[in-house]
Amino acid sequence: MAKFNRGGKKEVPPLATTSLPDIVFMLLFFFMATTQLREETALVTVKLPQASEIAKLERKDLASYINIGSPVLSKQAEYGTDARIQLNDSFKTTDDIRDFVAAERENLSEADRTFMTVVIKADENVRMGIITDVKQELRRCSALKIMYAASQASK
């Protein structure tokens, strides 16, 4: 063994950190590319129900969202705790869905309009009455592709 320790005390060379910024920047760009900034502030609390047979939405850019749930704590003094519909950034009623769908449709290109999906994000404790109203309204403006948002059930 003496053969190898001939040099006596040898210091461990410091770790080369010159490439560390590059690595971190790469991570940063990865996250910037894969995430999207939170677009709307949540006015209703939504705890999605769990389901096991869920599928991923393929074209996220074609989705428009309808949130249904009871208002967040800070809004409860004004709006109460009954389930409400949130479209974009404000509380709306079922009558406003027609305009909302029309506006969302307008944003899409001609070819994509038939593939527009309306994602219904409803709290698990919401009664079906309000959801049935929403569904009927969607049928009326022929936005027939819908998705019930759900989270993956742990098996």
Q: How far is the CB of 131 from another protein (least distance, A)?
A: 6
For another protein, which residue of 15, 56, 110, 111 counts as binding (CB under 8 A)?
56
Q: Judging by DSSP bridges, how do beta strands 50-51 and 151-152 pair with one another?
A: parallel
Alpha carbons 83 and 66: distance in angstroms, whole number: 13
Q: Does 151 bind another protein (CB under 8 A)?
A: yes
In the block, tokens 């047979």 appear at: 53
Q: For residue 26, what are its two tokens?
A: 């790469």
Q: How far is the CB of 111 from another protein (least distance, A)?
A: 19
Using alpha carbons, select from 42, 58, 137 the residue that is nearest to residue 91. 42
In the complex, which residues of this chain contact another protein (CB under 8 A)?
17-18, 20-21, 24-25, 27-28, 31-32, 34-38, 49, 51-57, 60, 63, 117, 119, 122-129, 131-132, 135-136, 138-140, 142, 144-152
